[in-house]
Structures are given as structure tokens and as C-alpha cells.
Amino acid sequence: MATHTDDRYYVPHGSYWPIVGSVGLLFLMVGVSSWLNGADAGFYIMMLGVAVLIFMITGWFATVIGENQRGLYNDQVDRSFRQGMFWFIFSEVMFFAAFFGALFYARNMAIPWLGGSSNNFFTNLLLWEGYESTWPTDGPGGIGGEYQAMPPFGLPLINTVLLLSSSITVTIAHHALLARKRAQLAIFLGATFVLGFIFVYLQGVEYVHAYQDMNLKLTTGIYGSTFFMLTGFHGMHVTIGAIMLTIIFFRVLKGHFSPEHHFAFEAVAWYWHFVDVVWVGLYVFVYWM
């Protein structure tokens, strides 16, 4: 096995995967847009785009994993990957920040103003007479009709415990990897993605309960909007994270990763901690406070 020190740079050869990805994005975006405009064919174009993107992701990662297993990458490439992943996660944090920002703005500014606070007495009197600002709210227009707010205890609390535990199990798995305890690594990594999928399942149960029994929907004013968009995007990220954990799990079973070289493992672990931290924010500000 050749080891490469930093005295010679590694530059990868060309790849057709990015252009496949661009074509996939073209189909996806054109498809979903036409579908939203009411063209039925849009749905199929969208699904084609999704298929091409899955094909691209699979192929691209297979290429990179293959090159990695053949020992082509040096430490510098490893650092590039790590830093790239770190900044990607930071960009994800900022995406969630936009929605948290919307939640805070609505709760602390928009709704009190609609209720007449600060110098908005006439807004309240002339436009929304009798509206008192509260949280949760579906707004002075009562958009979405009577609803119940999601209580913080019960399912959401169970989900919090599940997700926090999964962060612990993935850390134990990491330590096992460093200590070359492969069985422990596999068991705790397996536990992590199982916990992740249970979380997603329970989130689904909660959504069904909200829609069927509580009349709490995406259309339930600003409360429903922020609740479902924040938890929905988070759930999507948990799903992606759990899929990535599953892939990592199978790579562990195949004998990939060493205590020195396990960028993919760490990247997924970071990502998992990120969805965990976002959840803590969600639990505190969306469910609880």
C-alpha cells in the first residue's frame, strides 16, 4: 500500500457524475415546478429527476469510496473532505436559522403587533378588532379553523429521549472504532440508525394524530406553518441521516474504516449530532416554550 505524504498533491481525474447530477436537478426542478402548476406529467419528470439524482449519488459515492479503499487519498484530501463537510453542515444550520428566525419574528413581533402592542393600536382596532395576541395562534383570521396545540410531553418527549440517546450510541460507536472493537462498533452503530428510524416513525404517528385528531395542519396559521415546516425539514434531515448511518453500518460490516481513516464515519456522525442539536432547539422553542 502506497502511502502519500504531503510532498505530492493528489488531484482526482475527471468525473461524469457531476453532469449527471445537473441533469437530475434539471428534471427534478422542471418536474416539480410543472407539477405545482397543475401539469400531471410534471410528477413523472420529477420522479425521473429523483431517480437520476439517486443514481448519481450512488455512483459518485461508490467512485470515491473505491478510490479511498485503493489508498489513493492522502491526509490532505482527508482534511479537505472534513472541512468541506463542516462548512456544509454550517450552511444547513443557516437554512434552519431562517425558519427559526421566522418563528421568533412571528412570536415576538408580528403577532403582538397584530394584537395592538407598541404603536399598532389602530392596526388592531381597524383591521383585526378584538384579536388578542397569544401563542400558539392561527392568526387574527383564524386560518385553518379550530385546532389544538401540540403538547410538549408525550410523543415529542419520547422522541427527544430517542434522539439524544442515538447521539450517545453513535459516540460510543466512534470510540469503539478508535479502539478497534468492531463488534461493539457494529452494535452501537446499528442501534443508532434504528433509533433514528423509530424517531422518524413516531414523528409520522405524531403528524397523523395532529391531522386527524387535533385539526393541526400545515394550513393552521403561523403556528401550523412554523410547526410543520421546522419539524418537517428536521424530519427530512433525520431520514437522510438515518439512511447515511445505515450505509455506514454496512460499510462497517464489510470491514471499511480504520482508527486512522474513517472520514465518512465521522462525517455522518457530525451530521447526526447536527440533527440532534436542531431537535433540541425545536423541542425547546416549538413544542415547549
Residue numbers 195-254 binding other proteins by CB under 8 A: 217-219, 221-226, 228-229
Positions 144 through 183 that interact with other proteins (CB under 8 A): 144
CB of 56 to other proteins, least distance (A): 9
| Site stretch for other proteins (CB under 8 A), options 80-88, 158-166, 260-268, 280-288 | 80-88
CA distance 276 to 179: 25
CB of 184 to other proteins, least distance (A): 30
| Contact yes or no for 31/43 (Cβ under 8 A) | yes
| Site stretch for other proteins (CB under 8 A), options 87-95, 154-162, 179-187, 259-267 | 87-95
**58-61-66-71 Cα dihedral, nearest 10 degrees:** -170
| Site stretch for other proteins (CB under 8 A), options 99-107, 152-160, 200-208, 251-259 | 99-107
Among 52, 111, 173, 282, binds other proteins (CB under 8 A): 111
The string of DSSP codes covering 129-183 is TT----SS--TTTTTT-S--PPPSSSHHHHHHHHHHHHHHHHHHHHHHHHTT-HH
- Identify the three-state secondary structure at position 211: helix
CA distance 46 to 139: 34
C-alpha cell belonging to residue 275 = 440533527
Binding mask 114-143 for other proteins (x = CB under 8 A): x---xx-------xx--------xxxxx-x
C-alpha cell belonging to residue 164 = 439524544
Binding mask 12-51 for other proteins (x = CB under 8 A): xxxxxxxx-xx--xx--xx-xx--xx--------------
Total residues contacting other proteins by CB under 8 A comes to 80
The string of DSSP codes covering 242-261 is HHHHHHHHHHHHTT---SS-
Name which of 114 and 176 has its Cβ closer to other proteins: 114
Among 47, 59, 69, 92, binds other proteins (CB under 8 A): 92
